[in-house]
Amino acid sequence: MKFFKNSYYLLACCFLFPFYYFSKSIPVCKDCTVKKIETALSLAKNGDVLELFNEKYSEFNLKIDKKITLKGKKNSIIDVKGKGNGILIYSDDVQINTLQINNVKTSYTDDLAGIKLKNVNNCTVKNVTLNNTFFGIYLSKSNNCKLINNVLKAVAKKESSSGNGIHLWYCNQMIIKGNKISGHRDGIYLEFVKNSKIFNNLSKKQIRYGLHFMFSSNNHYQNNRFINNGAGVAVMYSKNIRMNNNVFSENWSKISNGLLLKDITDSKIYKNYFKKNTMGILAEGCNRMLIKNNDFIENGWAIKILGNCYNNRIIYNNFMSNTFEIVTNSSTNNNLFEYNFWNQYSGYDINKDGIGDVPHSPITLFCFLNEKIPESMVLLRSNFVDLLNLTEKITPVLTPESFKDFKPRMKKIQWYNS
């Protein structure tokens, strides 16, 4: 009877213990028994570790359909040589760590990528460098995956012939952390992605957007830097978004925005830094937004908020050295501006409570007219414009009366210490 009990115990252990307790390592190198990654993949079993050395592997379309780890060294290079994808992952629990993938060519018929993951769960891509790839890392219909500390570099010339650095489609509960991305169409692109965290990434010099996401709700974007892109970030058709402690800087072009918000509801944008963008924030069709404790510094337009935006709160922000503070295409205001610091405010504070005694009108007459007649921008620095704005301030006629901060702060808000 005791023998049968022990047998049942052993069977249970074999069934319950994770497969990796029985894993083995497979070295892959020129002087190893196994010389090609493709051969190692065919020999590998669930739980095995494939070890790459500091050498170049000229291989492509490497299909991983087992729960394995592919681990290299700093100079472990997979050179695709423009022949297809780099690595194709079709299994759960795959780990890719510390290697390089180079030279995935542009394709107009297939989304070729350095690493492509499809219908998988719990996979990790970490410390991987992708050079000159059409798409860098491409995920579709996957869950609980992590992309951590990867470097993605491309030299895209035009939007039509370039792919995205990190591309996610129909994914859930993803973590995108600490990646450095440059030279793609969009640095990070998400469509139908939810419940994910994107933080500590650097996205710069993309042709279009540093970050672009659509139909992707319940996500959190924190501590990212979007610098010198065609435009910083585009947030479209989503709800319950949190964006905080991000930097939007030097996103310059005729139509460039630090942050584009289109049809966004019930979201929070706080403690961000907008500096030297053509437009800090452009909001269209946005409702019930909280825009709080942000810095808007040396932008062309700090915020452009269109007439189809309702019940938004723009509070406790700093507006400093912007050419235009607020611009709109509407004669009415359905949003709250309150407790902001405006360095163009010329009011006074007799009772010394830190709040201006007269309201601040952030929309100047010239700003209002320039929205109607863009060609008038050539008059921007003229004495005529100064006289025009002064006249309107004394006797308001054309500027929207409701666009006022009735409680302007007298001193810059130190939100980063709060």
Distance separating the N- and C-terminal Cα atoms of the chain: 68
Q: Higher model confidence: residue 198 or residue 22?
A: 198
Chain mean position to CA 101: 23
Which amino acid is it at 68? I
Whether the pLDDT of residue 16 is over 50: the answer is no
Q: How many residues does the chain have?
A: 418
Q: How confident is the model at residue 22 (pLDDT cuts 50, 70, 90)?
A: low
The confidence score (pLDDT) of residue 362 equals 85
pLDDT in tens, 123-143: 999 999 999 999 999 999 999
Whether the pLDDT of residue 186 is over 90: the answer is yes
Mean pLDDT over 379-390 rounds to 54
pLDDT in tens, 144-169: 999 999 999 999 888 888 999 999 99
Rounded distance between C-alpha atoms, residue 44 and residue 40, angstroms: 6
Mean pLDDT over 303-317 rounds to 93
Domains identified in the chain and CATH numbers: 20-206 (2.160.20.10), 230-363+400-418 (no CATH)
- Which SS3 state, helix, strand or coil, does residue 85 take? coil
Contact 181, 202 (CB under 8 A): yes
Q: For residue 122, what are the CA distances in angstroms to 95, 191, 216, 256, 396? A: 9, 19, 20, 37, 60
Q: Higher model confidence: residue 120 or residue 74?
A: 120
Whether the pLDDT of residue 396 is over 70: the answer is no
- Which SS3 state, helix, strand or coil, does residue 179 take? coil
**Strand ranges (E), 293-339:** 295-297, 301-305, 313-315, 318-320, 324-327, 336-338
pLDDT in tens, 208-222: 999 999 999 999 999
410: buried, middle or exposed (CB in 10 Å: 19+, 13-18, 0-12)?
middle
The confidence score (pLDDT) of residue 19 equals 44
The confidence score (pLDDT) of residue 159 equals 85
Whether the pLDDT of residue 2 is over 90: the answer is no
Whether the pLDDT of residue 375 is over 70: the answer is no
The answer to which of 8-17, 22-31, 101-110, 308-317 has the lowest mean pLDDT is 8-17
Task: Return mean pLDDT, the chain.
Answer: 88
Mean pLDDT over 291-312 rounds to 93
The confidence score (pLDDT) of residue 154 equals 95
Rounded distance between C-alpha atoms, residue 89 and residue 58, angstroms: 18
